[in-house]
Amino acid sequence: MQILPLKGMKKFLGKQIGCSDWFSINQARIDKFAQCTLENHWVHVDVEIAKQGFFGNTIAQGNLNPCSPISTSASW
């Protein structure tokens, strides 16, 4: 991995870098991420209670998306 100073990053403006394939964030992925991060709040992992909540279903943890490049390389 190359570390660039901020001025060295200007050459990447408007370009896609580090793109990966699309993947689904399903309940199994949310549950495993919750186990790893200890973020086991019901809104993420309890499907039955979450159905009665504001969103009507479980929701992914907010920090799951930024961690996705790491999680795409793992075999879930």
How many domains does the chain divide into? 1
Listed in order, strand segments (DSSP E) in the chain are: none
- For residue 61, tell me if it sits in a domain: yes
> Cβ(26)–Cβ(57) under 8 Å?
no
Range of the domain at 69: 40-76
- Which residue, 41, 38, 71, 65, is CA-closest to 54? 41
> Over the stretch 13-65, which tens digit does the pLDDT of each residue have?
888 877 777 778 899 999 999 999 998 899 999 999 999 999 999 999 888 87
For the whole model, what pTM was predicted?
0.62
- For residue 55, tell me if it sits in a domain: yes
> Over the stretch 6-16, which tens digit does the pLDDT of each residue have?
887 888 888 88
- For residue 2, tell me if it sits in a domain: no
